[in-house]
Structure 1
Amino acid sequence: MAQAMVKRIVSSSACTFAGLAQKTYIRNVAASSKVAASKKERVLPTEGEITKSVFMSQSTDIYTNLALEDWLYKNMDFTNHHVMMVWRNEPCVVIGRHQNPWLEANVPLLSEKEIALARRNSGGGTVYHDRGNLNITFFAPRERYDRNYNLKLIKRALFRSFGIKSTINERQDLIVRDKYKVSGTAAKLGRLTGYHHCTLLVNANKADLSKALAKREHGIQTKATASTRSEVANLKDLDNRITVENLQTALGYEYLRTPALHLDDGGQSLIAKQRGFQFVNPTDDWFPGLAELKNDLVSWDWCFGRTPMFTVSRSFPVPIGLLAPSKVYSATQELVINMTVEKGLINDVTLSIPPGLIESGFHGEASVITHLKGKRFTSEALNALQDAMLTRHHVSDVKELDDKEQFVAKCFDQVVNTM
């Protein structure tokens, strides 16, 4: 029934824009935002002069949806028109603007499973998305940005439509059954515009979520923002009738029936005055310049290269079989790898090679370090390490590493988290 109601709304010319009309509307709003930006002070409208829309993205690509979010933030004027955007993604991990992906996500697993990793423009912690999540972004003028309003609106929609009770904790997460997190939250505030976004777990694959965000032994020290781990639940665990589609409908109606600045219930009469549900097609044709924004978000330099500086220190016991056979050592022989990584590139590295490994024939730390500096903190660095060790042989027909070199390469492999 709820889906049928959405179809009736989006097919009504009074409640939606389509095709050329929609694209023209977006360009006009973008142009008006430039006028607003040129003014030192804005005169904000009264609540009764503000209309609302629910934008429904037709893309399920994380980079496209983040680019659309960024485009709206930069180009639209929300002074008289507030927007809630709803969107879904194929499996991906999304980190906050100031986070370290190697610390927050299981990067090797993501690569193996071809799960996208994206860095968003807002702060906050790391989240896992799949088609069982509903993502929501609330856009408003900066002066009227109100995260508490948005979360209470979601709470009310969950209870009105599904009888699900939830609470807002001190971190502004939505909690059910006094324990389980169903929604996290993050935001971005600019000079003119602010947005608050969150994701609701409806029927997400919790096993994949757990694996994608699994903590590993990294030895990383950093000042990057760290995520707070929480027990999570799907809303479907509380009511098996709930789907992403009918939740989207429930939230959309709750948004449209609620005045822009306070949480009264305006009912059907207020819904009729709004701009309704609008499908949006995130392409350059509709949103000029969107492709360029997406290209930036896809790039390695953004997803990984924007990581705050960090150091790594790892120790690895050397197997007895690799030590000099004629020697007896009183202490454990350990290979120690220390690195400094800036902008995702290895800036400094030290290999502390224990006496037992040197006496068994391994040497050449200086040449290894020379080859590693400036390499990405990925398998690129591992390949450089292997090449450096091969060049030490000075024999053109030697194509393989010996057992000691293979051990060092394996340890380095674990440091840079390659598979």
Structure 2
Amino acid sequence: MNLRILKSAVTNPWFNLATEDWIFQALDAHSHTLFLWRNSETVVIGRSQNPWVECKIDKMEADDVFLARRQSGGGAVFHDLGNTNFTFLSPKDSYDQEANFTIIINALKKLGIDAELSGRNDMQVGERKISGNAFKHAADRSFHHGTLLVNANMQKLGDYLNPHPLKLKAKGIKSVRARVANLVEFNKDINHENLSDAIIEAFCEYYGETAPVEELDEASLAKQPTLNKYYEQMADWDWRFGKTPEFSHHIETRFDWGIIDMHLDVKQAIITEVVIFSDALNVELIDLLQQTLAGVKYNKDDIKARFDELSQRYPELTAQIDDVSKWLIGEMEG
């Protein structure tokens, strides 16, 4: 059986997740394929997760942290250049999950680290988790994706994940954290390059074959129309935010002109229904606020733009509209 080895020179997570999709959907499944990659600072959420519940969106934007949504399920994870990611693709009839874990464990041995399989999905050194894994199967192919913590910034995970819950009653999966360790704790000289080399070596040794390493970069997008299509999907706002399961957002506050008790229903990241209870004297204002928010993307820039238009149309209500605009956007940012 042929081997194929792909290595990404790109750290854009949308490119790398698109490449994974391309490997899974479009690549010839008659060979054992290994893909190695890593991402710039990114929060990757599972297919059924709500980014507003899982992440501090505004802090991520301020710090140029990517948000990516996987095709597969599971919880939110933080990636940075200290994470090495690996993907195995095999024909279904010769897929061997144990073989994949053996290859990674053998690679770590080459670097003086004794790792073992823990449960079905994780690898650990001693009691500490160093790798999480996920699997996907189609009619003719099977896919195993994992991440190795090399020198990841554990603190950053807390910086961008789990904001205060914003009273969001959300469907989907919440993330949990495990006891984890970086591989540099066990070998201070380990890095993405020498770990990748060790994995490639262990892969070739296991199958008794060799293959050239194909370096993927932005030029690969141009050569592969399918890959480019997957990239555009991964980068698209509608995929990253719009695919969120429906949720409701209930917030209330008191202004000097009245109480606002606001209920928003959000479906596919569009505000579908708005109910506002208020003791404000101006009933027209409340009606206008409800009409303005209905149908808008649940996105602070779109909401602000709508409120700005409204206050231009009703200059006599500008002060109240601005109050509500600042408050709602502040609540969305957490």
Question: Which TM-score applies when normalising by structure 2?
Answer: 0.89
- Superposed CA offset, 1:339-388 (max 9, x none): 111111111112222x3xx25x6862111111111111111124324543
**Whole-angstrom CA distance in 2 between matches of 1:339 and 1:372:** 9
Matched, 1:70 2:33: no
Match of 2:6 in 1: 55
Q: Which among 257, 262, 271 is matched to residue 337 of structure 1?
A: 262
**Whole-angstrom CA distance in 2 between matches of 1:288 and 1:408:** 45
Deviates more, 1:304-313 or 1:404-413: 404-413
Matched, 1:346 2:271: yes
- Superposed CA offset, 1:9-45 (max 9, x none): xxxxxxxxxxxxxxxxxxxxxxxxxxxxxxxxxxxxx
User: Shift in Å at residue 181 of structure 1?
Assistant: 3.1
Q: Is the 8 A contact 2:53 2:162 kept in 1?
A: no
**Whole-angstrom CA distance in 1 between matches of 2:70 and 2:287:** 38
Give the % identical residues: 28
Residue correspondence of structure 1 range 10-409 to structure 2 within 5 A: 50-79=1-30, 81-169=31-119, 172-178=121-127, 180-259=128-207, 270=208, 273-281=209-217, 283-316=220-253, 318=254, 322=256, 335-353=260-278, 355=279, 358=280, 364-379=285-300, 380-388=302-310, 391-393=313-315, 395=316, 401-402=318-319, 405-409=321-325
**Aligned AA for 1:291?**
N
- Superposed CA offset, 1:71-94 (max 9, x none): 222222222x10110012222221
Match of 2:332 in 1: 416
Secondary structure of 2:15's aligned partner: helix
1:414–1:229 distance in 2 versus 1, CA, 3 Å? farther
**Aligned AA for 1:311?**
S
Secondary structure of 1:247's aligned partner: helix
Secondary structure of 1:74's aligned partner: helix
User: Shift in Å at residue 406 of structure 1?
Assistant: 4.4
Secondary structure of 2:252's aligned partner: strand
- Superposed CA offset, 1:187-220 (max 9, x none): 3322222212111111122232321224323222
Any gaps of 5 or more consecutive residues in structure 1? 1-49, 260-269, 325-333
User: Shift in Å at residue 285 of structure 1?
Assistant: 4.5
- Bigger radius of gyration: 1
Q: Is the 8 A contact 2:53 2:165 kept in 1?
A: no
Calculate the aligned-residue CA RMSD, in Å. 2.5
**Whole-angstrom CA distance in 1 between matches of 2:249 and 2:161:** 19
User: Shift in Å at residue 64 of structure 1?
Assistant: 1.5
Q: Is the 8 A contact 2:34 2:86 kept in 1?
A: yes
Q: Is the 8 A contact 1:123 1:188 kept in 2?
A: no
Any gaps of 5 or more consecutive residues in structure 2? none
- Superposed CA offset, 1:51-74 (max 9, x none): 323211222221112222222222
1:141–1:159 distance in 2 versus 1, CA, 3 Å? same
1:135–1:349 distance in 2 versus 1, CA, 3 Å? same
Q: Is the 8 A contact 1:91 1:130 kept in 2?
A: yes
User: Shift in Å at residue 135 of structure 1?
Assistant: 0.9
Q: Is the 8 A contact 1:346 1:374 kept in 2?
A: yes
Q: Is the 8 A contact 2:85 2:148 kept in 1?
A: yes
**Aligned AA for 1:174?**
M
Number of equivalenced pairs: 332
Spell out structure 1 runs of 4+ moving beyond 6 A.
none
User: Shift in Å at residue 323 of structure 1?
Assistant: 6.0
